[in-house]
Structure 1
Amino acid sequence: MLKKVSEEYKKKGRHILFSVVFLVLGFMLAFSYKTLGGNKDIERVTSDSFIQEERYREDLIEQKERNKELSEEIGVKQEGIRSYETSFSTNEKAHVDLVEEAKDLRLLLGEIPAIGQGIIVTLSDAEYDPIEHNPNDYIVHESHIFKVINELRISGAQGISINGQRITASSFIKCTGPVITVDGMTFPEPFVIEAIGESDVLDAALNLRGGVIDGLVLDNIVVTTEKSKNLKLAALGD
């Protein structure tokens, strides 16, 4: 009887032990699953973050490359603009130079009025005794006028007139006794020559020692000069 009871206790003890063992194993399996599953979730989250970061990095690199290309393109266009501006400036300057040259030519041809500072040169016959002297030695001849005109042109005069008659490179000047004829117009003395240009330069050129005015004085011509800040020469035909 005691032996039978003892065997029953042993069976129950084994059942309890197995139950405890299974319970522990179940707990361990559950804990392991949870732990492994959590790690997988963490790994998945980490993997997704890495992929997203890589995409951002690639996008950033691509954007930097695009910015570089745009910067280079802008540089090329800016250089083109600078070249155009330089070319335009050069052409504009050339155009201005041509306009000024054309204006100077028109002034010399007498096609347009000449206005500005300049000088007034007056040539008059000298007094003489017709009994004792040759009157031709005391009157103004075309050669005297040409000396003055040529010196004024050399010195930069932009426009010249004689007694209001505009002078050009083709003007015809002829002395006939006490009068001169300029392009068919007759004028008595005094002969007033007006020239537009740098007044100081024109005056200095005429008054050089041994120059034009000294030569005129030696030829018994009465010469006066006056610098003016505001001269106006009419165009041909005005």
Structure 2
Amino acid sequence: MSQQPPVRSTGSPPPRPDASMSLLNNVMDHALDDGYAEATARRAAKGGGMPRPLRAKLGLAAGLVLAAAVVTLGAAQAQIAAPIVAKERQELIDRIDAETTAADELEQNVEKVRAEVGERQRKALEEHGGDQAELVALLSGATPVRGPGVKLVVDDAKGAEDGGGGPRESSGFADTGRVRDRDMQRVVNGLWQSGAEAVSINGQRLTSLSAIRAAGDAILVDNRPLVPPYTVLAVGDGQRLSTAFQDSADGQYLHVLQENFGIRSSISVEDEVRLPAAPSLIVRTAEPRGAGAAEATGEASADTGKGTS
């Protein structure tokens, strides 16, 4: 049996069991980086210094103090300016109230003067109207009237303010189911032609010189706006006037508006209707032209090369 040769000792210590974990051991033994340690040592050698967290807190405190100062200054300026703004606002309100009061007084004065002028015109008409004074007063709307007649109510279609009613042929604006000035013109003209002796719309007395116009969607009678529904009162033979109007072309026109565009209307015979006098009295008289005036007109036409029809 052969013997193995003895193992020679080399003199080096045996390897550590954790030699393969040297990197981890180094990290555990030196948890603080050497550079941080050196920097801390230098600050300690120089007599120390303000810690970074403390400097951050002082900076934040300084910022808050500055912001508080800015807010306080703004509030102080606003408090100083507030009385001035309030004073200017109150002065503006006072001026508006004063101007509104002055405008109302002027309007009242205008109405008063207009009423006085109308009264004097009526008196003058009664004094100088001659045998036709009553007829002229009736046609010019100088006096209030009452008697049998008809009551015609015309109103916009339901939902007209929401754009209902459907489009209608027009020259200048789209139809939304509203009653237009041209509609009321035809209604009033139809009543005159059917035998009405006097007519009013919403208390506004109409004469042969009255004008029915439009301003946007509003209807004006002698430059005074009316609000729907439009109540038309006409003095005359009630039953005959009602029948004649409904059979006329203008009555059929109103019926078409009702059937096709939803405009609402109703007519009734009344035993008595009351119409006020016209707010303004306008009387025009016609005089026959003399032979001299006719000859002068003919000479003027010949000189200008324009004839008269």
TM-score by length of 1: 0.53
Q: Which runs of 5+ in 2 are unaligned?
A: 1-128, 168-173, 281-309
Quote the Cα distance in structure 2 between the aligned partners of 1:150 and 1:158. 12
In structure 2, the partner of 1:184 is 223
Is residue 120 of structure 1 aligned with residue 120 of structure 2? no
Q: Aligned with 2:247: secondary structure? A: coil
Measure, in 1, the Cα distance between the counterparts of 2:165 and 2:153.
27
What is the letter of the counterpart of residue 217 of structure 1? Q
Which structure's relative contact order is higher, taking Cα pairs within 8 Å and 6+ residues apart?
1
Q: What amino acid maps onto 2:138 in structure 1? A: L
Which of residues 212, 223, 228 is equivalent to 2:265?
223
Distance change >3 Å, CA 237–CA 133, structure 1 → 2: closer
Contact 1:179 1:189 in 2 (8 A): no
Question: Whole-Å Cα distance in 2 between the matches of residues 132 and 197 of structure 1?
Answer: 33
Task: Note the C-alpha offset of 1:100.
Answer: 7.8
CA distance in 2, matches of 1:144, 1:131: 18
2:228 matches 1:200 = no
Q: How many residues align?
A: 141
Query: Is the Cα–Cα contact under 8 Å of residues 180 and 214 in structure 2 kept in the other structure?
Result: yes
Is residue 162 of structure 1 aligned with residue 181 of structure 2? no
Query: Does structure 1 conserve the Cα–Cα contact (< 8 Å) formed by 2:164 and 2:176?
Result: no
Task: Give the drift of 1:201.
Answer: 1.4
Mapped partners of 2:164, 2:232: distance in 1: 31
1:213 matched residue in structure 2: 254
Q: Distance in 2 between matches of 1:141 and 1:196?
A: 24
Q: Equivalent residue for 2:185?
A: 146
| 2:255 aligned partner, one-letter code | D
Q: In the alignment, which residue of structure 2 is the partner of 1:56?
A: none
Query: In the aligned structure 1, how far is the partner of 2:258 from the partner of 2:210?
Result: 25
Structure 1 distance, partners of 2:204, 2:260, is 25
Cα 1:207–1:177 shift into 2, 3 Å = same
Q: Which amino acid aligns with 1:224?
A: S
Q: Distance in 2 between matches of 1:132 and 1:227?
A: 28
Distance 1:170 1:132 in 2: 32
Q: What are structure 1's unaligned runs of at least 5 residues?
A: 1-97
CA distance in 1, matches of 2:247, 2:265: 14
User: What is the CA–CA distance in structure 2 between the aligned matches of 1:227 and 1:100, rounded to whole Å?
Assistant: 32
Match of 1:130 among 163, 176, 185: 163
Structure 1 residues 177 and 111 mapped into 2: Cα distance closer, same or farther (>3 Å)? same
Cα offsets for 1:75-134 (capped at 9, x unmatched): xxxxxxxxxxxxxxxxxxxxxxx9885423321210111110011111100024528944
Equivalent residues in 2 for 1:2-81, closer than 5 Å: none
**Contact 2:258 / 2:264 at 8 angstroms: preserved in 1?**
yes
Distance 1:197 1:222 in 2: 23
Equivalent residue number for residue 175 of structure 1: 214
Q: Within 2, Cα distance between the matches of 1:100 and 1:200?
A: 30
Q: Is the 8 A contact 2:194 2:244 kept in 1?
A: yes
Q: 1:103 aligns with which of 107, 111, 134?
A: 134
The runs of at least 4 consecutive aligned structure 1 residues that moved more than 6 Å come to none
Q: Aligned in 2, Cα 1:171/1:209: closer, same or farther, shift over 3 Å?
A: closer
Q: Which has the higher strand share?
A: 1
Structure 1 residues 234 and 117, CA gap change in structure 2 (3 angstroms):
same
Q: Shift in Å at residue 213 of structure 1?
A: 3.3
- Mapped contact 2:165–2:176 kept (Cα < 8 A): no
Output one character per residue of 1:156-204: Cα deviation in whole Å (capped at 9) or x when no partner: 2111111001101111211234421111211111111111111111110
- Are the structure 2 counterparts of residues 99 and 175 from structure 1 closer, same or farther at C-alpha, using a change threshold of 3 Å? same
Tell me, yes or no, if the aligned pair for 2:163 and 2:176 is still in contact at 8 Å: no
